[in-house]
A and B are shown apart, each in its own frame.
Chain A
Amino acid sequence: MKIIETKNLVKRFNGVHAVDRLSIEVEKGQITGIIGPNGSGKTTLINLLSGVLEMDSGEIIIDGAKKITRILPHQVSFYGITRTFQNVRLFEQMTVLDNILVVVTERNVFSSLFEKHTEYHHKIAEEVLQKVGLWEKKNQLAVNLSYGQRKLLEIARALAMKAEVYLFDEPFAGLFLEMRKIVSIIIQELKQENKTVVLIEHDIGLIRELCDHIFVMNEGKLLAEGKPESVLEKREIIEAYLGE
């Protein structure tokens, strides 16, 4: 079943179409990849789906039911969506542990004043930090971590949300082999739990390995879609990449 659908989604910057009448459907429980040359609109699409940017026109439909024309950033998690960022956006001057705790604690302004911390939140934090191997570093400031560790922390933060849909923007970029394995396992585990993963990636090998379905974007439009093996064979896809 479709968990996310867009209809004629449009986003312009200074007259340039970053996303140009994009209509796609993301299946629940699958790992969907989005590939395309730089500037094809992949990150913009994620930004639109996560409320970071406001669309110019079009519709986003969540779970087949809710039609949205404007997602406010803080409403995104209510739709069961969470994400990571291409250029890692952590809470730099806070500890690794706090980076996780801050997203799982009480969201209501007044209740959060009277909440210190609970066992429950710490359990979640430990669980996700162990998964990415950062539990030992829980008291280090995020700004002091290595690049790879920072990416893993972002993923842990997203995992802590226990969301239905995970939008990962180039989660593997810049990671060494061991860390890539960790991320790959995490993504596959999410699928086993019937969660939906949308993955922007440049590494074709990973796309082939992980994705059930891929979209190819170019200049804000959908160029092709389908199973990785069939799509990646098509000539125009290769040309679009070479032409970047």
Chain B
Amino acid sequence: MAYLIHLAILFAIYAILGVSLNLVVGYTGLLSVTHAAFYGVGAYTTAILLTKSGVGFFSSLILGMAIAVAVSFLIGVVLSKLKGDYYALGTFGFNTIVFGVFLNWQNLTRGPLGIPGISKPELFGINFANNFNFLVLALIFLVLMYFASRFVVNSSFGRVLKAIREDETAIAVFGYNTLYFKLVIFVISAAMAAVAGSLFASYITFIDSSSFQLTESMFILAIIILGGLANLRGSILGALFLILLPEILRFVGFPSDIEAQMRQVVYGIILILLMLYRPQGLIGEYKL
């Protein structure tokens, strides 16, 4: 039971990551493979503030979002000059650079040694070391992020995003400054990823740079492709699937070091099969 709760918390965190990335990739059509960078910004902000100062969890969360907004704004401005394949490549680059900062700014992040001893949130005296309470907190955030995303997607703004995905020049000609729209959604998406990062840091109580590499960004991308692009519930479903999958594999009984790799094998095969036979994912409406 305790293990189920653990899985559920991870699910909630990845669902937030998936939903937020889907806004950029699925709805706006921007192949962004740098989400882990903003995830990391949130995680490190919370980790550093909670271990080195008296700042509480919720304040660190807000600050994490603010930093993610600033960083993503700069990255977004640079990325706006890139098209197609070069855009994706540019995002690879930024993920690598931000990861480089996490790894090498050892004074701040302790690099590969990581930051241990991150405390839990404090709110009305609720004991968040009790994982069930933390799960509720995580789910509340997921619900908030989900409804915020739905709000964005159903607004006129969201409709313009989809048009950008379909034909950016065509919608521009009708009076829409597509640069601004792309920048804003990129920043919103990054802020949400930072929230997931803060939750992650406080839950696991220890973080290090290895969680925020390119491969993590690719994993989040896999979640939303599996669940279905441009479908928020699909991203939640995708997160559920990809969190539960390793557990199913566990039943097959691979030795533990092989198990992590088998997970990757399965992820990879799923991606290939999806592209070949069902590019719209589980419940997606938009075919890549």
Tell me whether A and B are bound partners: yes
Interface residues of A (CB under 8 A from B): 50-52, 72-74, 76-78, 82-83, 85, 89-94, 98, 101-103, 105-107, 109-110, 112-117, 157, 161
What total of A-B pairs shows CB separation below 8 Å? 96
**In the bound complex, what is the Cα–Cα distance between A106 and B178 (angstroms)?**
13
B155 within 8 A of A: yes
B247 within 8 A of A: no
Chain B residues 223-263 with CB under 8 Å of chain A are none
Complex interface: chain A residues within 8 A of B136 (CB):
none
**In the bound complex, what is the Cα–Cα distance between A116 and B151 (angstroms)?**
9
Q: Is the interface of B mostly helix, strand, loop or mixed?
A: helix
A117 touches B156 (CB 8 A): yes
Complex interface: chain A residues within 8 A of B175 (CB):
74, 76-78, 103, 107, 161
B155 touches A74 (CB 8 A): no
B155 touches A112 (CB 8 A): yes
Q: Is the interface of A mostly helix, strand, loop or mixed?
A: loop
A93 touches B173 (CB 8 A): no
Complex interface: chain A residues within 8 A of B180 (CB):
109
A93 touches B286 (CB 8 A): yes
How many Å from the CB of B77 to the closest CB on chain A? Answer: 14
B167 within 8 A of A: yes
B176 within 8 A of A: yes
How many Å from the CB of B24 to the closest CB on chain A? Answer: 15
Chain B residues 152-190 with CB under 8 Å of chain A are 152, 154-157, 159-160, 162-163, 165-167, 169-178, 180-181, 184
Cβ-neighbour of B159 out of A85, A102, A114 (below 8 A): A102
B173 touches A115 (CB 8 A): no
A98 touches B286 (CB 8 A): no
**In the bound complex, what is the Cα–Cα distance between A110 and B185 (angstroms)?**
11
**In the A-B complex, the 5 residue pairs with the closest CB atoms:** A77-B175, A73-B172, A105-B156, A91-B166, A112-B157
* 29 A/B residue pairs, CB under 8 Å, sorted by A: A73-B173, A74-B176, A76-B175, A77-B174, A77-B175, A90-B166, A90-B170, A91-B167, A91-B170, A92-B167, A93-B166, A93-B285, A93-B287, A94-B159, A98-B162, A103-B171, A103-B174, A103-B175, A105-B159, A106-B156, A107-B177, A109-B177, A109-B180, A109-B181, A112-B157, A115-B156, A116-B154, A117-B156, A161-B175
B182 nearest CB neighbor, chain A only: A109
A76 touches B173 (CB 8 A): yes
**In the bound complex, what is the Cα–Cα distance between A116 and B156 (angstroms)?**
6
Complex interface: chain B residues within 8 A of A50 (CB):
173
Complex interface: chain A residues within 8 A of B171 (CB):
91, 102-103
**In the bound complex, what is the Cα–Cα distance between A115 and B159 (angstroms)?**
11
**In the bound complex, what is the Cα–Cα distance between A103 and B160 (angstroms)?**
8
Cβ-neighbour of B172 out of A74, A82, A101, A117 (below 8 A): A74
**In the bound complex, what is the Cα–Cα distance between A144 and B159 (angstroms)?**
19
**In the bound complex, what is the Cα–Cα distance between A91 and B169 (angstroms)?**
11
**In the bound complex, what is the Cα–Cα distance between A14 and B232 (angstroms)?**
45
**In the bound complex, what is the Cα–Cα distance between A92 and B286 (angstroms)?**
10
**In the bound complex, what is the Cα–Cα distance between A114 and B285 (angstroms)?**
24
Complex interface: chain A residues within 8 A of B172 (CB):
51, 72-74
Cβ-neighbour of B174 out of A94, A110, A114, A161 (below 8 A): A161
How many Å from the CB of B215 to the closest CB on chain A? Answer: 30
Of residues B159, B162, B171, B177, which shows the largest number of chain A Cβ atoms within 10 Å of its Cβ? B159
**In the bound complex, what is the Cα–Cα distance between A114 and B154 (angstroms)?**
10
B162 touches A52 (CB 8 A): no
Complex interface: chain A residues within 8 A of B286 (CB):
93
Complex interface: chain A residues within 8 A of B155 (CB):
112-116
B181 nearest CB neighbor, chain A only: A109
**In the bound complex, what is the Cα–Cα distance between A114 and B180 (angstroms)?**
16
Given known contacts A93-B285, A161-B174, A101 and B159 CB-to-CB distance under 8 angstroms = yes
Complex interface: chain A residues within 8 A of B178 (CB):
74
B154 touches A94 (CB 8 A): no
**In the bound complex, what is the Cα–Cα distance between A220 and B52 (angstroms)?**
69
Of residues B170, B171, B173, which shows the largest number of chain A Cβ atoms within 10 Å of its Cβ? B173
**In the bound complex, what is the Cα–Cα distance between A72 and B152 (angstroms)?**
26
B177 touches A77 (CB 8 A): no
Extra pairs beyond A91-B171, A112-B156 (7, CB < 8 Å): A52-B169, A74-B172, A89-B169, A92-B166, A93-B285, A109-B184, A113-B156
